[in-house]
C-alpha cells in the first residue's frame, strides 16, 4: 500500500486462511476508509490481505466508529511515553473523566547523559559526577540510555540558532 506521502507500507499479521485451512502469515497490501452509507457515525474500513503461503486474496470490511474527543485524548496520553523519558504510566478512563498518572525515573537521565558525554569527550570526570553515576547504577557509560533523535522542527531550529549565533 502506498501512503499519501509516497511511502510503501505493508502490514504483516497472522490471519485465518480458508484455502490452507489454518492460521498463516499474511500481508495487507491495501487499506481504505470511507464514510458508511448506513450511518454518519461510522466509517467503513476495507483491508485486502494476501496469504504468504498460497497467495489467496481476502477482503475484510469493518465498521469503525468516529473517534471521540476522549479516545483521541487517551491516544495522545499513551504516545507521551515515546516522546519523554518516563518510568511508566497509568491511564484510567471513566464515564466523564480520564485520569493519567506518569512516573518519572528516579534519576535525572538527561544529567546522567551529559556526564557520560563529558566522560567520553574528555576521558575523565570528577568524583562527584562518578558518585552520581554509581548511585544511579550507571557507572558503566554503556548503560545510560541514548537520547532520542530530535524532531525535524527541533533540528531546523537548532541549525538556525547556530547560523545566527556565528
Residue 151 belongs to some domain of the structure: no
Q: What is the mean pLDDT of the chain?
A: 80
Does residue 56 lie within any of the structural domains?
yes
In angstroms, what CA-CA distances link 39 with 34, 64, 66, 143, 161?
12, 11, 11, 54, 51
Residue 35 lies in a domain: yes
User: Does residue 92 lie in a domain region?
Assistant: yes
40 and 80 share a domain? no
Residue 149: is its pLDDT beyond 80? no
User: What's the rounded mean pLDDT across residues 49-64?
Assistant: 90
What's 57's domain CATH number?
2.20.25
What's the whole-number mean pLDDT along residues 29-40? 82
Interior angle at CA 71, CA 70 and CA 73, nearest 5: 65
In-domain check, residue 57: yes
Answer whether residue 50 shows pLDDT above 90.
yes
Q: Is residue 118 part of a domain?
A: no
Q: Which three cell numbers stand for residue 132?
A: 552520581
Question: Does residue 89 form part of some domain?
Answer: yes
How many domains does the chain contain in total? Answer: 2
Residues 55 and 36 in one domain: yes
14 or 134: whose pLDDT is higher?
14
Q: Which domain holds residue 16?
A: 11-65
In a domain, 152, yes or no: no
pLDDT digits (tens, 9 = 90+) for 72-131: 888 888 888 777 777 788 888 888 898 999 888 777 777 878 887 877 777 777 778 877
Residue 133 neighbours by CB distance under 10 Å? 21
d(C-alpha 53, C-alpha 24), whole Å: 7
Amino acid at each position: 500500500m502506498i501512503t499519501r506521502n509516497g511511502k510503501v507500507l505493508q502490514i504483516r499479521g497472522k490471519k485465518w486462511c480458508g484455502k490452507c485451512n489454518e492460521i498463516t502469515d499474511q500481508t495487507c497490501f491495501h487499506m481504505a476508509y470511507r464514510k458508511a452509507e448506513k450511518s454518519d457515525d461510522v466509517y467503513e474500513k476495507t483491508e485486502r490481505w494476501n496469504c504468504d503461503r498460497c497467495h489467496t486474496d481476502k477482503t475484510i470490511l469493518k465498521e469503525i466508529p468516529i473517534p471521540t474527543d476522549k479516545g483521541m485524548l487517551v491516544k495522545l496520553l499513551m504516545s507521551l511515553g515515546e516522546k519523554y523519558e518516563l518510568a511508566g504510566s497509568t491511564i484510567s478512563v471513566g464515564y466523564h473523566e480520564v485520569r493519567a498518572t506518569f512516573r518519572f525515573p528516579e534519576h535525572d537521565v538527561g544529567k546522567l547523559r551529559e556526564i557520560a558525554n563529558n566522560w567520553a569527550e574528555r576521558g575523565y570526570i570528577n568524583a562527584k559526577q562518578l558518585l552520581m553515576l554509581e548511585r544511579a547504577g550507571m557507572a558503566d557509560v554503556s548503560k545510560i540510555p541514548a537520547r532520542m533523535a530530535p524532531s525535524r522542527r527541533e533540528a531546523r531550529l537548532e541549525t538556525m540558532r547556530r547560523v545566527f549565533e556565528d
